[in-house]
Chain A
Amino acid sequence: MIKNVIIAGVGGQGTIFAGKILGTMAYQTGLHVKISEIHGMSQRGGSVVTQVRFGEHVYAPLAQAGEVDVLIALEELEALRYASYLKENGILLMCNCRIKPTASDGGIYPQSIRTQLEQKYYVYYMEEIPLRDKTLNVRMVGAAAGCLGFSREDGIKALEQNVAAEFLEKDKKAFLEGWEFYEQTQKSPAEWRVVCTTN
């Protein structure tokens, strides 16, 4: 059984790092993993997507549309862009971050993203996260780790392997907050805005 995760965001939000943390967790628990990254244009405000696939043995580095278990969207428009990769009953993790494209192609930023997505997918909102939070990516990875059945310890170990000492405590805290967010939604879904509708 291969698990597929997409981390979508905008250049500078740390999707590549988020992918590395998830990937490290997977291989530390004995699974094979492949991570696919987009380099190059990422620093210039482009849309950036990282895919993480793990399981017994992963062949292709990319999942196909309709195969993704968890979509971590660090930005709302990017959530909409990659939502169709989610499989039936797939989980969409979102936060209250909207970044207008720095360059315009003449299009307009859609208004009703949440309504559109809620009609089709299980959407988890992590609303408490302040905009421009530098640990947003790690927090959302924490929540995704919960969804995917990883433990707190798996996450801490992965962070210790990938993060410089000066940022480690901050990232650990962010990861645990994310992980607990997911746990809470499982214990008392009513307290959180969890939307479950038919696919």
Chain B
Amino acid sequence: MSEVRLMLGNEAIARGAYEAGVKVSAAYPGTPSTEINESLAQYREVYCEWSSNEKTALETAIGASLSGVRAMASMKQVGVNVASDPLYTAAYMGVNGGLVLVAADDPGIYSSQNEQDTRCIAKAAQIPVLEPADCCEAKAFMKKAFEYSEQYDTPVILHTTTRLSHSREPVTEEPRIANTEKPYVKNAAKNVMLPGFARKRHIFVEERMEQLERECSDFDINTIEYQDMDIGIITGGIAYQYVKEAMPQASVLKLGIVNPLPKDLITAFAKKVKQLYIVEELEPVIQEKVQSWGIACQGKELFTRHGEYSVNLIRHGILNEPLKEAITGDLMRRPPSFCPGCPHRAVFSLLKQMNYHVAGDIGCYTLGALPPFEVIDDVVCMGAGISTLHGMEKAKGSAYIKDWVAVIGDSTFMHTGINGLINMVYNKGTGTVIILDNGTTAMTGHQDHASSGATLQQGEVMPISIAKLCRSLGILDVYEVNAFDTKKMKELLLEAVPRKSVTVIIAQAPCVLRKRHRE
């Protein structure tokens, strides 16, 4: 009855959540996290949605937890920034039904705008973090995360990375826990974070983390393999795999929980080994804490704070072996580019021809910064294009931005772009915003969103009209135009950009990849 399947790390996380009895899962797509919610959506016992952004996703999960069911949100590392407002306070409130946030980091920056380490946020927010090292653990730790969440009355973060999320391994399926639901109990002192209540909850949070620090030394998700006592390595997550292959004889303490750190366990391990190394990707979260206890160890002196780790890198760091890197010389690269027939091509060709500057945003269209177009001037984060154009205008005057436009996709506009537009209208900005409306979240693999007309599990829905939404802000000049009609678009731009008020041009044409799939 238990079936073994070759599961993607993200599928294993979804399976773990399913088996843990999760009832509600909310997410906004983002590489490398997207497949978690997509995979979970196949289980009809679980309500899954694409939320409008990571903040609404986490808040949805918090509400579901409050009501008494097990709930989760999943997102990429930069999505955690968007969700961090509710996250920090959810730590104070604790949970009713178990609450888990899956955060997928991207060491090596395969598909992100930065390389931040979620463990740093978790530390600041005082939220426990579990770190699986392979797909089987991804499933098992997800179940543990729900258990700890309820046991310690805290949200728990399951921390994964691109390499784990996008690795496949045989994983054994187990049955779903039938009933995990709890009754709802009104409790303002716990769930209304007024200053008077929050002060008390902060004390609870401190005590909870201290209790966890004491007790997590006994958690079975931490394991010790004593071998050669000359070299001891503390590691966790995917880095454990590199350690085992690079240093098969070393003694290894593999941490399943990395916030808080199991102090007793680490201290005992450190005492037994001669040389202690800490191997962790990105920030020295474990190392700094261990050193703060007066334990001598080496870590970031030997290994990088950036990029992905590898077997070679560890042998290089500890054994001083030369780095055996693949030799590709100055081979012609294959930079990603717009698909043949992509409507974004038409718009960027025109913008280049008209010599405009572009305040850009996050999506396929970020490629407009690369050859042959090279028209995008800045890209910060989801929704920032409209606001950065606004800031440019306020700094240098409205005449200065008369050869500028902001460009943003439909999904990104619904995510956080709308906030920038509200701000621009309210503060008497005069910018021109082009919304590239291809009807889908294309970059992450064609997920639906609030203005695409469908949901993840609930079938079709009336799409929120971007044009009507913009008009409702009081913007008089809102145009809908075929993205390939560059003649019309050029006329509109020549008219709109010099105008002393906000203009929105919605360039419509379906994503060519999606069109092909549907045909």
Q: A residues touching B (Cβ–Cβ < 8 Å)?
A: 10-11, 19-20, 23-24, 27, 32-41, 43-47, 59-62, 64-66, 77, 80-82, 84-85, 101-105, 107-110
Contacts and interface: CB of A to CB of B under 8 A. Distances in A.
Contact of B337 (A66, A77, A103, A110): A103
Given A35-B6, A38-B166, A60-B311, A81 B338 contact: no
Interface of B: 4, 6, 8, 31-32, 110-111, 134, 163-164, 166-170, 238, 240-242, 244-245, 310-312, 324-328, 330-340, 364, 367, 370-372, 443, 445, 513
Nearest to B312: A64
Given A62-B310, A65-B324, A81 B168 contact: no
Contact of A109 (B4, B240, B332, B445): B332
Given A43-B513, A103-B337, A108 B332 contact: yes
A10 B334 contact: yes
Interface residues of B, dominant DSSP: loop
Contacts of A85: 326
Nearest to B133: A59
A133 B437 CA distance: 33
Contacts of A80: 331
Contact of B336 (A103, A107, A109, A110): A103
Contacts of A102: 334, 337, 340
Contact of B330 (A59, A82, A107): A107
A27 B170 CA distance: 7
16 contacts: A27-B4, A27-B6, A32-B169, A41-B336, A45-B336, A45-B337, A47-B333, A59-B241, A59-B245, A62-B163, A64-B310, A64-B324, A65-B325, A77-B334, A84-B328, A102-B340
A40 B31 contact: yes
B5 to A, nearest CB: 9
A145 B331 CA distance: 29
B324 A66 contact: yes
A149 B101 CA distance: 43
A71 to B, nearest CB: 11
A48 to B, nearest CB: 9
Contacts of B338: 44
Nearest to B446: A43
Contact of A40 (B110, B164, B241, B371): B110
B331 A46 contact: no
A23 B168 CA distance: 9
A104 B238 CA distance: 34
B173 to A, nearest CB: 14
A35 B57 CA distance: 30
A195 B457 CA distance: 54
Contact of B326 (A38, A46, A84): A84
